[in-house]
Amino acid sequence: MTLKGISGFFRILAILMVLGLLCFKNQAFSSPSNLKDSLIFEYESARTDEMKFEILKKLSRVSFQLGDYRAAIDYFNQESEIYLTRKDSVSWSNAQYNLGIIYSILRDFDKAINHNSLALIYFENNRLLREAGNTYINLGYLSNELRRTEIAIGYYLRAEEIFNSLSTNQSLEASYLNLGVLSDKSKDLGHMQESVEKSRGLSQKSDIMALINIKTGLGKIYAFSNNLIPAEKYLMEALSMAKEVGDKSYESIIRVGLGSVYLKKGKNKEALVSLNVGLDIAKQTKQSSTILDAYAELARVSMKLGKSAQAYQYLNSYIQLKDSLFIEQSKLQQIQSNPQEGIAMRELQTERLLRQNLEQVLEIERNTNSKMALIGFALFVLLLLVIIIRKYYSKNKTYVDLEEKNRLIELQKAELESLITTKDRFLSIIAHDLKNPFTSLLGFADLASNEFDEITDAEKRSYLNIIRISSQQIYSLLDNLLTWSRAQSGRIDFKPEKVSLSELVENSIDVVRSSAENKQITLYKDLTKEVFVNADKNMLFTVLRNLLTNAVKFTPNGGSVTVSFNNVGDKAEISVTDTGIGMNEDELSRLFKLDGNLKNPGTNNETGTGLGLILCQEFMHLHKSKIVVESNPGKGSKFSFLLDVL
């Protein structure tokens, strides 16, 4: 509510009310949230557009600091409109940049890219190289998050080119804008000549940090693409620069990235050292996402080094941290989904103040017989009624919006509780199925160690075979678990290529050949010709390995397992058929569900979680296919899926 339109005696009353509120504000508004409320009140009471604009700029920054990103977006949009009318292109482009940063935090990447792209157009056209370079870095990060790998690499390389030129030719510093989030560009430019030396020093350090950011981003992208030579090169360059400037945050990210590269190159010991150093630094600097990545990679390298118990500990830490991060993200989304709640409360407070003011006016009116006062009072009441009626309808709409948002929150809460329940059941299954092979492994290892001289060679071979099988079961379970977890978080790259089906089937059969021979199960490969399919080679191998492992597991001694191929139009139908125990309708309906609790033992009491089949189905969905099952109790099962033929 503004003071325009109020005159005479009632203007004085309204001014007194404002002064009273300002006195109260000076005592109570000491925290950032109170500061924001104070600014909102000042904004509503401001007399001129210029005063409102100055308060608006403060509101956008305070809202960001409070984590009220939706309000910050609204204020920055208002700023942008004003900058357009004033033709202040520098401040407008900076507002677009800041909007891109906020949308990045909210993980609305498409909007973030749009605002950064708008800012980039101005920076490029006006040769503001440093600002353009920073914007290219942001666009590279956003494109990588959207799995647009080639585009992300292009943005990063362009940013690298810009900052390399800046670092070798300092005379190019024709513009200086500190593109830190929420800085006031118009004031920075006004003081530019007074702080040239300070600006140059800050610019040089900013350029180094930008290059570290670029090289780290490129290194991680190349690592995910298994392009390990440039990945290691960029990460080593970034590490050297981060150590030079003493930036521990980037050092932890880079060391974890290098650990992942070393692991892929088979340098397991180097990977372990790099990952542990990165994890320690990440814990010191409280970088949750880096800690999460380190736990996942440490679990993998521990398995490679034969440290199964340690791998399980890392895996458990990974799951616990991921759950806590998910809950924090859900809380943030819940807070951001109710931006009208604070507004509604402030409207209620404003209405109470209006009623108090009205009661004061009535008391004054009762003590005077002035006809003019009565007329003025009537006009004032009429004005208040109009305002209250408008606010009434506005609040009604707000309450409807709040009810809808509360309904969505309840749905999200129910979904979260369901996910937590599923996770608990999942961990229970994993713990149970890890216990059995570990019991066999430790028990027979102790028995062989304690009675080595007393037992026969045949018994020793038998014990070693049991230990080998138990170790394979543990490894297979943990490998499936890690792969499934990475798939859930969207961190697995899908890279279809031309794959020889015959070669991949032969490799998959080799994996289960030993288990099949122990049960006298015959393995057949029914491929009449050489066939090439369009598929992700690693994913297809995982699918075939899991299907063959299950087929051997549920086939009795002396049975058979067959891998076959048939042409179905322009697609290849790959099938794994066994002569095993089969499944009934109820078991089939629960086969690909994590909460289905389907845990039938194999024909020789082999155990499993069913996680492998769930992972296989998800991989087939990435191939735009699915696994179809045909089964009859006592007659065996057939698992089939379709792939494009090349």
* SS (HEC) of 456-506: CHHHHHHHHHHHHHHHHHHHHHHHHHHHHHHHHCCCCCCCCEEEEHHHHHH
Q: Which residues pair with 564 in a beta bridge?
A: 526, 575
pLDDT of residue 202: 57
Cβ partners under 8 Å of residue 233, min gap 6: 219
Domain boundaries, the chain: 247-332, 340-436, 494-644
pLDDT band (50, 70, 90) for residue 169: low
**404-407 contacts: CB < 8 A, separation 24 or more?**
405/337, 405/338, 405/340, 406/338
pLDDT band (50, 70, 90) for residue 381: confident
pLDDT of residue 422: 60
The answer to whether residue 276 scores a pLDDT higher than 90 is yes
Which one of 310-314, 430-434, 456-460, 530-534 scores highest in mean pLDDT?
530-534
Average pLDDT, whole number, for the chain? 77
User: What percent of the chain shows pLDDT beyond 70?
Assistant: 75
560-568 and 522-526 strand pairing? parallel
Q: What mean pLDDT comes out for the span 539-560? A: 92
Question: Which of 545, 518, 519 is closest to 464 using CA atoms?
Answer: 518
**Does this chain's domain 247-332 share its CATH topology with 494-644?**
no
pLDDT of residue 374: 67
Q: What mean pLDDT comes out for the span 82-86? A: 87
pLDDT of residue 370: 58
497-500 and 636-644 strand pairing? unpaired
pLDDT of residue 431: 62
Which one of 63-77, 99-113, 625-639 scores highest in mean pLDDT?
625-639
Tell me the three state secondary structure of residue 10: helix
Is the CATH number of domain 494-644 3.30.565.10?
A: yes
- Return the CATH architecture of domain 247-332: Alpha Horseshoe (1.25)
The answer to whether residue 132 scores a pLDDT higher than 80 is yes
The answer to whether residue 459 scores a pLDDT higher than 50 is yes
Q: What mean pLDDT comes out for the span 326-354? A: 49
The answer to whether residue 172 scores a pLDDT higher than 70 is no
Q: What mean pLDDT comes out for the span 609-623? A: 83
Residue 225 DSSP label: T
In three state form, how does the secondary structure of 62-90 look? Answer: HHHHCCCHHHHHHHHHHHHHHHHHHCCHH
pLDDT of residue 209: 85
- Could you identify the residue written with the tokens 């070798």? 168
In three state form, how does the secondary structure of 586-639 look? Answer: HHHHCCCCHHHCCCCCCCCCCCCCCHHHHHHHHHHHHCCCCCEEEEECCCEEEE
CB-CB contact of 252 with 281 (8 Å): yes
pLDDT band (50, 70, 90) for residue 599: low
pLDDT band (50, 70, 90) for residue 540: very high
CB-CB contact of 274 with 300 (8 Å): no
What pLDDT, in 10s, does the model give residues 399-424?
777 888 888 888 888 777 766 666 66
At 560, which helix (H) or strand (E)? Answer: strand 560-568
CA 73 – CA 183 distance, rounded (Å): 15
Q: What mean pLDDT comes out for the span 316-320? A: 83
Which one of 402-406, 432-436, 491-495, 558-562 scores highest in mean pLDDT?
558-562
pLDDT of residue 602: 60
Question: Which of 304, 331, 617, 292 is closest to 486 using CA atoms?
Answer: 292
> Residue 642 corresponds to which tokens in the numbers above?
């379709």
In three state form, how does the secondary structure of 364-383 look? Answer: HHHCCCCHHHHHHHHHHHHH
Q: What mean pLDDT comes out for the span 416-434? A: 64
pLDDT of residue 14: 39
pLDDT of residue 357: 43
pLDDT band (50, 70, 90) for residue 30: very low
pLDDT band (50, 70, 90) for residue 42: confident
CA 236 – CA 243 distance, rounded (Å): 11
What pLDDT, in 10s, does the model give residues 247-263?
898 899 999 999 999 99
